[in-house]
Structure 1
Amino acid sequence: MVDVHGTTADGFEPVRAAFADNFALRGERGAAVTVYRDGTKVVDLYAGTRDADPGDEPWRHGTAQVVRSATKGVAAAVLLLLHQRGQVDLDAPVGTYWPEFKAAGKERVLVRHLLAHRAGLPVLDTPLTPAEAVDGVSGPRALAAQAPAWEPGTEHGYHAQTYSWLLGELVLRVTGRTLGTWVAEEIAGPLGLDLWIGLPDAERDRVGRIADVEAPPAPASAGLRVRAKQSVTDAYRDPESLTRRAFAAIDPHPDENDPAYRAGELPASAGIATSDALARFYASLTGVVDGGHRLFAPATLTLARTEESAGPDRVLMVGTRFGLGYMLHGGACPLLGPGSFGHPGRGGSLAFADPESGISFGYVTNGMQKNVTADPRAQALVRAVAKSLAG
């Protein structure tokens, strides 16, 4: 049995029980979960070890972890806030802000297509090395030259890695600041979040080491092939599939514990945060935190969780639902209710908000599991939150 540390408000005891069960029944090594309700923290728990392997240093209050694709929800907020401020038109062609992007048949790719995974750019003909992925130049240059894999706007497919360079370059062109800098100055700083897209050297000791899985082998060719009835398993095994190539846009697979990688700004996959930072971030999207901080105006909140993409996903090979930058409640990503929006991270992390119940949720872990969107540990915690609300 692991010792669970932290606090739960009256009525939220089921979350503590589910969190403990994750260690006893579901292979958890080290993790934290935080829940806010109507801007007030009601759950703040942590347990286990901060490092997955070796695992001897205890997880402490404020331990942060790489949250992989849960970072996408933070990155999406930057574009939506720029739209809220009148600096970005969601229905404008991306080439309006980034002229080089118009090449190779991308003149009609809209800003909203990037956020809703409809741009047709989940893969690169030539994958980037880990060093190129974080240099701030190679990724945008490659995508500016890349031809779409389908007619932009007509279908959707998860932009697992390329989302980093698409959104990062757009923010840079509009604001003159990198996306990580914008987050630090406009979101994390004002809200007091332990959240970084580009980890500062001074914060390295705050972050635990994550477990990893074997990387997929490099694609055999640059050809695109999607079989009409290809299974998810087959797609991951097929070196020419969109699925395999989307997740191998950085090749070889980067060492996610490498300080150089963590310092790079990859808003698709390499954000670092505490569970409290993620939950507090989502609380600020849907309501007021600490009596004064709210990020999204009501109209922007509606944009974030209005369905833009739904149905068969050309990359994930299952039915997915996306708003503008956020996964929506559904079979591939069960959240708290029909109005919930957020983003999971491969390996288990999950962050979301449910405006109807006033809940915002953040979960981070160092124990890698292979589920892409619906990790059983995170789902057990979501069900426990629902049980707590039901009384």
Structure 2
Amino acid sequence: MQLPRIPGLPDLFRRSWVPKDIDSIVTVGHEDDPAAAGMTQEGVDRIWRAAIAAYRTGLYPALQICVRREGVVVLDRAIGHASGNGPDDSRDTEKVLATPDTPFLTYSASKGITAAVIHMLIDRGELGLHDRISTYIPEYGCLGKESITIGQVLSHRAAVQQIPEGISPDHWHDREFIVDALCRIKPAGKPGTYQAYHALTGGLILGEVVHRVTGNDIRTVLAKEILEPLDFHWTNYGVAPESTDQVARNYVTGLPLLPPITHLAQRALGASYRDVTELGNDPRFLTAIVPSGNLVSTANELSRFYEILRRGGEMDGVRMMSPETLRQALVEQGKFQPDFTLGVNFRFGFGFMQGGKRVSLFGPDTVRAFGHLGFINIAGWADPQRALSAAVMTSGKPFLQYDTTRFFALILAIRNASPKVDPGDILF
């Protein structure tokens, strides 16, 4: 339940206004009968109630959700406003309703798609998981980075988690500047010996590897190989300049951050929490190619992308990778080690966050689940044991504080409503 506001005083919790008539701000896409997916209407209703509970906190001006089971879309809805209802907007600000077609910036959920592109090229023999980065970017092999491999970058074990110095919004379209900045980084430790989340560097390095190997930027490779054959509209790095105003606006919500949380955010992101949120609204960033953080998608399309992987890497005649390559991508790296950037452990394969037996981002008993979070409050994932592929988008960016548990409660509700399939029916 949303905490009360005190008339005449600023809202210290930085929330959007929640109308009494929730149905007036809900839009619904195409949804099939849950029975066709082996689910119950009651289970789907529980998921939706969890989504409404998250929205009612006021922390998420817009929330979008899509759930597929056995490839069947059982839930595809949006609630709230794509713009105009942030904590600093007045009641008179023009409000644009969010719909299932509204694209969202996915922040670090981009990394899961980038990993998929890399494994696609590995599957084709154009890259090797244990190849050195310097094999493809010779100038990168300096200052102790000579031995860093593609697999170490994917698994956040390359010891180059530092944010490159000097990068500003004006540089996002300057490929030469970014490569030079990456080359100037000196590893913070011995590559391969520990996990430290690479918030920005990993995706930039991998994007440049793709460019060197294929002769095309990673945006073009993703579009030509996957998105266009499968008729995706969004789900690529950035958008065309004329489309920036269609992307849902990002808002800082929730309680102000205080030390030591501010220091943790600065260390992980290289900027303040507010600055990173606002960067997601900057047209210079929204039109660039940032494989670690500027993929733009909808919940429907992101869940559909994970549906390809849930099926073992192939859908509708388009093969992204073989099941064998996907299994290799999901081999866990660095069991039970703390993450020296985030301060908490996230289980990683080669590019994907992974589920777990007891505790995980995707709920308990999700050892086969994999996907990626984006700026804490966005998620896309697949759970082969439950024939599940899903995504949740939000435009609010609260840190881990009061009522952000509602976001993870929503993910848990999706897991709980999706029964396990017979082991013989798991596709890879």
TM-score (norm 1): 0.87
Match of 1:182 among 221, 232, 237: 221
2:351 aligned with 1:325, yes or no? Answer: yes
Partner residue of 1:227? none
Q: CA deviation at 1:266?
A: 0.9
2:381 aligned with 1:360, yes or no? Answer: no
Question: Aligned equivalents of 1:26 and 1:355: distance in 2?
Answer: 33
Contact preservation (8 Å) 2:163, 2:200: no
Q: CA deviation at 1:388?
A: 1.6
- Alpha carbons of 1:171 and 1:291: their partners in 2 closer, same or farther (altered >3 Å)? closer
Q: Which moved more, 1:6-15 or 1:335-344?
A: 6-15
2:296 aligned with 1:296, yes or no? Answer: no
The 3-state SS of whatever aligns with 1:364 is strand
The 3-state SS of whatever aligns with 1:212 is coil
The letter of the residue matching 1:316 is: L
- Alpha carbons of 1:366 and 1:79: their partners in 2 closer, same or farther (altered >3 Å)? same
The 3-state SS of whatever aligns with 2:317 is coil
Question: Aligned equivalents of 2:368 and 2:157: distance in 1?
Answer: 21
Partner residue of 1:89? 128
C-alpha RMSD of matched pairs (Å) = 2.8
Partner residue of 1:280? 304
Match of 1:136 among 175, 183, 201: 175
The 3-state SS of whatever aligns with 1:49 is strand
2:61 aligned with 1:29, yes or no? Answer: yes
Q: CA deviation at 1:346?
A: 0.7
Partner residue of 1:269? 293
The letter of the residue matching 1:14 is: R
Please list the CA deviations of residues 264-316 of structure 1 after superposition, one character each: whole Å capped at 9, or x if unmatched.
11111111110011100000112177643452311122122210133200100
Question: Aligned equivalents of 1:250 and 1:131: distance in 2?
Answer: 18
Q: Which moved more, 1:112-121 or 1:138-147?
A: 138-147
Question: Aligned equivalents of 1:33 and 1:294: distance in 2?
Answer: 26
Q: CA deviation at 1:334?
A: 3.5
The 3-state SS of whatever aligns with 1:356 is helix
2:417 aligned with 1:388, yes or no? Answer: yes
2:379 aligned with 1:379, yes or no? Answer: no
- Alpha carbons of 1:323 and 1:290: their partners in 2 closer, same or farther (altered >3 Å)? closer
Question: Aligned equivalents of 2:371 and 2:404: distance in 1?
Answer: 14
Q: Which moved more, 1:312-321 or 1:324-333?
A: 324-333
Partner residue of 1:198? 238
Question: Aligned equivalents of 1:261 and 1:118: distance in 2?
Answer: 26
Q: CA deviation at 1:154?
A: 0.6
Contact preservation (8 Å) 1:68, 1:268: yes
Contact preservation (8 Å) 2:253, 2:396: no
- Alpha carbons of 1:213 and 1:128: their partners in 2 closer, same or farther (altered >3 Å)? farther
The letter of the residue matching 2:348 is: F
Listed as ranges, the matches of 1:199-348 within 5 Å are 199-212=239-252, 234=260, 236-238=261-263, 244-248=266-270, 253=276, 255-287=279-311, 291-310=316-335, 311-330=337-356, 331=359, 333-335=361-363, 337-348=366-377
Contact preservation (8 Å) 1:128, 1:250: no
Contact preservation (8 Å) 1:312, 1:319: yes
- Alpha carbons of 1:298 and 1:259: their partners in 2 closer, same or farther (altered >3 Å)? same
Listed as ranges, the matches of 1:98-117 within 5 Å are 98-117=137-156
Contact preservation (8 Å) 1:117, 1:157: yes
The 3-state SS of whatever aligns with 2:328 is helix
Contact preservation (8 Å) 2:361, 2:408: no
Please list the CA deviations of residues 30-88 of structure 1 after superposition, one character each: whole Å capped at 9, or x if unmatched.
11100111222221111111115347111123001111101110111111000001100
- Alpha carbons of 1:151 and 1:348: their partners in 2 closer, same or farther (altered >3 Å)? same
Question: Aligned equivalents of 1:9 and 1:388: distance in 2?
Answer: 14
- Alpha carbons of 1:291 and 1:180: their partners in 2 closer, same or farther (altered >3 Å)? closer
How many residue pairs match? The answer is 371
Partner residue of 2:9? none
- Alpha carbons of 1:161 and 1:250: their partners in 2 closer, same or farther (altered >3 Å)? farther
Q: Which runs of 5+ in 2 are unaligned?
A: 1-20, 35-39, 421-428
2:80 aligned with 1:48, yes or no? Answer: yes
- Alpha carbons of 1:26 and 1:300: their partners in 2 closer, same or farther (altered >3 Å)? farther
TM-score (norm 2): 0.79
The letter of the residue matching 1:314 is: F
- Alpha carbons of 1:57 and 1:137: their partners in 2 closer, same or farther (altered >3 Å)? same
Question: Aligned equivalents of 2:317 and 2:164: distance in 1?
Answer: 47
Match of 1:18 among 39, 50, 53: 50
Contact preservation (8 Å) 2:130, 2:151: yes
- Alpha carbons of 1:134 and 1:370: their partners in 2 closer, same or farther (altered >3 Å)? farther
Q: CA deviation at 1:161?
A: 1.3
Question: Aligned equivalents of 2:324 and 2:235: distance in 1?
Answer: 25
What is the percent sequence identity of the aligned residues?
A: 29
Structure with the greater alpha carbon radius of gyration: 2
Question: Aligned equivalents of 1:34 and 1:44: distance in 2?
Answer: 4
